[in-house]
Structure 1
Amino acid sequence: MSLIKSFKLVLAPPHRAATPFLGIGLLTGVFGRATPWRLTRALGTAGFAFTGFCLYFFRNPKRTSPQGDNLVLSSADGRVTGISMVPPPPALEMGSEPVWRVSTFLSVLDVHVNRMPVSGTITKIAYHAGKFLNASLDKASEHNERNELRVTLKDGRQVAVVQIAGLVARRILCDVQEGEHVQAGELFGLIRFGSRTDIYLPPGVTPDVLEGQTMIGGETVIAKL
């Protein structure tokens, strides 16, 4: 990655979900630093530091998605921690035949906005309250708090994308609804403070990525349909 591109990534404007956190951090910082007491001034410094962290964590860089109805894109930045054949989530009613699942782990330092892997129609959304285990563990896909989406392509095939909360994450944001038409690469949500996304490919479609590979949400091609 070039130096200019790295700066653009770090200085990207934040997602709107950052607004309340930025407000709290700035108010704490201004109030604390304006007082003569050592304790509150230290709190003010912490407030400004928290503001800086939120600007970094919630950054929402512009992405240029490759074009093609046959492409499945990564839904998040991060590292591929698992590629396995498993049945799709039962709540999405996609059958019990095992398909390829690609799991991407997002550390607290990664961009956390989520992007659609394919173009199609949201035909099912299933939210599950759950635990907050380390999202890199395989059992997190069954036990952690998660939000599952089924996307139906124009040819009738289906792709699932799952937002999974992690050890530190405590909130999954999803901005799409059932019946909504979506485009590959467009924003659809965010998971706060460490998480994971799983993509379930249609039967017969194999992934073109490897475990340990770094993903760029909305740009990296996971598979070709």
Structure 2
Amino acid sequence: MTIHREGHRLLLVSGAILFALNAGARYFFQDTAWVPQVVLGISAVFFLLLLQFFRLPKVKTEINPNHIIAPADGKVVVIEEVHETEYFDGPRKQISIFMSPINVHVNRNPMSGIVKYVKYHAGKYLVAWHPKSSTENERTTIVVKNEQGVEVLMRQIAGALAKRIRWYIQEGQQVLQGGEFGFIKFGSRVDVLLPLDAEVTVNLNEKTKGGKTIIAKLK
């Protein structure tokens, strides 16, 4: 299993702390065998949870300029028309995907194109499914324009637990559909804002696979 680079330091530090904790339990509770066993069990479960959170599975994306691919593993929690104010200042079709702590948290490009806009916003840490999380939470807004001139906006949104958003692209960069553009730690959400004539191909509460699931088709 490949581990994402965002987890390397945390796993190393956590492993060292857990090792010291277990060594201490064995030393101070030599006459109470069940205590070190319980500490070992809890430590193993905690470390395995961290491992699965930072896992980086191989994903092969079928490139198609007419498809919008899910930017993340998770569940569709919003499909609606909204008035986007930060970049387009106009109506757009929004699809939001919520990532629970058990999902892979890599964020992938919904389509290929040129990055036209990148902006980070500090903010609150409302739960990721809160209606105001798109505009009030810590977030990063990214816009990509494809060869046909269609612009798609992705918004990484921190949740109540996710307090670190990472993005790896910059304005003017060429990106490939399915390629990694960011990572959000410990529960979060990604919004995708599309042209109004885009055909949505997913339903509310449907599970998505980042880099694989087709969430919309462009006209």
What is the TM-score when the length of structure 2 is the normalising length?
Answer: 0.90
- Shift of residue 178, structure 1, vs aligned partner: 1.1
Q: Which residue of 1 aligns with 2:23?
A: 34
Equivalence map 1:10-29=2 (5 Å): 12-29=1-18
Q: Which residue of 2 aligns with 1:195?
A: 188
- Shift of residue 15, structure 1, vs aligned partner: 0.6
Identity of paired residues, percent? 36
Where do 5+ consecutive residues of structure 2 fail to align?
none
Distance (Å, rounded) in 1 between the aligned partners of 2:92 and 2:23: 58
| 1:173 and 1:189 in contact (8 A); partners too | yes
Q: Determine whether 1:60 maps to 2:56.
A: yes
Distance (Å, rounded) in 1 between the aligned partners of 2:29 and 2:179: 46
Structure with the largest fraction of strand: 2
Q: Determine whether 1:161 maps to 2:150.
A: no
Q: Determine whether 1:111 maps to 2:100.
A: no
Where do 5+ consecutive residues of structure 1 fail to align?
1-11
Root-mean-square deviation (Å)? 1.9
| Runs of at least 4 residues off by over 4 Å | 39-48
Compare 101-110 and 22-31 and name the one that shifted more. Answer: 22-31
Distance (Å, rounded) in 2 between the aligned partners of 1:46 and 1:89: 46
**In structure 1, which of residues 77, 80, 83 is the aligned counterpart of residue 79 of structure 2?**
83
What is the TM-score when the length of structure 1 is the normalising length?
Answer: 0.87
- Shift of residue 13, structure 1, vs aligned partner: 1.6
Distance (Å, rounded) in 2 between the aligned partners of 1:29 and 1:130: 32
Q: Report the number of matched residues.
A: 211
- Shift of residue 46, structure 1, vs aligned partner: 5.1
| 1:28 and 1:48 in contact (8 A); partners too | no
- Shift of residue 74, structure 1, vs aligned partner: 0.3
Compare 138-147 and 40-49 and name the one that shifted more. Answer: 40-49
Distance (Å, rounded) in 1 between the aligned partners of 2:29 and 2:132: 46
Distance (Å, rounded) in 1 between the aligned partners of 2:179 and 2:29: 46
- Shift of residue 138, structure 1, vs aligned partner: 1.7
Compare 200-209 and 169-178 and name the one that shifted more. Answer: 200-209
Distance (Å, rounded) in 2 between the aligned partners of 1:72 and 1:103: 13
Based on CA coordinates, which of the two structures has the bigger radius of gyration? 2
Q: Secondary structure at the match of 1:111?
A: coil
Distance (Å, rounded) in 2 between the aligned partners of 1:61 and 1:105: 19
Q: Determine whether 1:173 maps to 2:166.
A: yes
| 1:147 and 1:162 in contact (8 A); partners too | yes
| 1:26 and 1:48 in contact (8 A); partners too | no
1:209 maps to amino acid: V
Deviation string, structure 1 residues 136-161 (Cα, Å, up to 9, x no partner): 12211011110000001111110000
Q: Which residue of 1 aligns with 2:202?
A: 209
1:141 maps to amino acid: S
Q: 1:17 to 1:38 in 2, by over 3 A?
A: farther
Q: Which residue of 1 aligns with 2:140?
A: 147
